[in-house]
Amino acid sequence: MKKRVTIQDLAKELNTTPSTISRALKNHPAISKSMKKKVVDLAKERNYQINALAAGLRIGKSKTIGVIVPRINRDFFSNVIAGVEDMAFENGYNVVICQTHDKVAKERQHLNTLISSGVSGILVSVGLETNNFDHFDEVKRLGIPLIFFDRVAEQSDVNKIQNNDKAGAYKAVVHLIDNGYKRIAHFAGPDYLNVYKDRKEGYLDALRDYNIEIEEELIIESDLKVESGRVSMKQLIELPNPPDAVFSASDYSALGALLYLDEMGIDVPNQIGVVGYSNENFTALISPSLTSVNQHGMEIGRYAAKVFFEEINDQQKSLIPRTIVLDPELIIRASSVRK
């Protein structure tokens, strides 16, 4: 168990000073080629790793981006993270991933830790519980670049990368209408989260545009988990006049509906059509495969990171907060196309 080697150790070995080592390692223009080579070679030989704590303390922050997501085992979020990691790596930054399990308390805690550890920026998709954004004030006060993605804060003065959820939902519902479905139900999420509110609006818009009557009893709000989908579907089926299609704001609740319909022996897509949201991996793998809306997680992640790098590269801090909206894509599968 040896001590780690520092730039002082390298300096001593080469009869020079820490400054020179530091500069050589950073490829500073004022250092001679020969010296750079000597330093780099020795560093490799001695297995030198920079002490990020010391460097970070010195320059006031670490070359790290914090990403906060509700859960890491969702395909959408893991794609976003992969996108962020790509961009970060290209720019020599590290990514620290935090999951909140949809709890505000965890969100707060992670935020504090990230601030404590001197991250250069924070990318966040807020949790289901989060309907108040005070805890982000400190981040902004400290001038740490803050970028929201997917589930975004309602404040206007922050950077946001969003999906056009309204358009995605609209496409989904129009697709159902085009396939001859007449009474389309909707599994909605909590209204205070932009994504669910927008998906509901897209649904309503489509019905209006096609002169289909909106029926409140066909709109069911829940936590959108598998079990809720099952329960909601049961509730719909037991209606005196049940719907012939469902547009769910989540693939998970759509899956619950499919499972319930399968148990009941109701044919999907011929008796009832189903469309989900998010294009989770499993949507392609189940039977019938589930039509869903792809949100391009990877691109969202890359954009979020891109906005971060623009923020830190802008010396004049003249950038005004931007909102980038990406158009989602409807992936048509078996669950919504009648034979």
Partner DNA sequence: CTGAAAGCGCTAACAT
Partner DNA sequence: ATGTTAGCGCTTTCAG
Q: Could you tell me which residues come within 8 angstroms of residue 29 by beta carbon, excluding any fewer than 6 positions away?
A: none
Quick note: the x/- pattern for a second copy over 125-144, rule CB under 8 A, is -------------x--xxx-
Which of positions 72-101 make contact with a second copy (CB under 8 A)? 72-75, 78, 81-82, 85, 94, 96-99, 101
Question: CA 61, CA 121: separation in Å to the nearest integer?
Answer: 10
Helices (H), the chain: 7-13, 18-25, 33-45, 52-59, 75-90, 104-116, 137-141, 165-178, 194-209, 226-237, 251-264, 297-313
Peptide bond into 70 cis (omega under 30): no
Interface pick for DNA out of 8, 270, 281, 287 (rule CB under 7 A): 8
Question: CA 19, CA 1: separation in Å to the nearest integer?
Answer: 27
The answer to whether 63 contacts DNA (rule: CB under 7 A) is: no
Number of H helices, E strands in the chain: 12, 12
Interface pick for DNA out of 17, 112, 113, 323 (rule CB under 7 A): 17
The answer to whether 270 contacts a second copy (rule: CB under 8 A) is: no
**C-alpha neighbours within 13 Å on the C-beta side of residue 152:** 24
Interface pick for DNA out of 30, 134, 216, 238 (rule CB under 7 A): 30
| Residues listed for the chain | 339
Interface pick for a second copy out of 53, 214, 239, 319 (rule CB under 8 A): 53
283 three-class SS: helix
Residue 20 site contact among DNA, a second copy, none (CB < 5 to 8 Å, cut-off depends on kind):
DNA
Task: Provide the token pair at 123.
Answer: 């990318």
Query: Judged by CB under 8 A, which stretch of 11-19, 68-76, 169-177, 329-337 contacts a second copy?
Result: 68-76
Question: CA 183, CA 181: separation in Å to the nearest integer?
Answer: 6
The answer to whether 120 contacts DNA (rule: CB under 7 A) is: no
Residue 23 site contact among a second copy, DNA, none (CB < 5 to 8 Å, cut-off depends on kind):
DNA
Q: How many residues bind DNA (CB under 7 A)?
A: 30
The answer to whether 4 contacts a second copy (rule: CB under 8 A) is: yes
Number of neighbours of residue 142 by Cβ within 10 angstroms: 10
The answer to whether 62 contacts DNA (rule: CB under 7 A) is: no
**Which positions lie near a second copy, rule CB under 8 A?**
1-2, 4, 47, 49-54, 56-57, 62, 64, 71-75, 78, 81-82, 85, 94, 96-99, 101, 112-113, 115-118, 138, 141-143, 226, 255, 259, 262, 281-282, 285-287
**Which positions lie near DNA, rule CB under 7 A?**
3-4, 6-8, 15-20, 22-23, 25-26, 29-35, 50-51, 54-55, 57-60
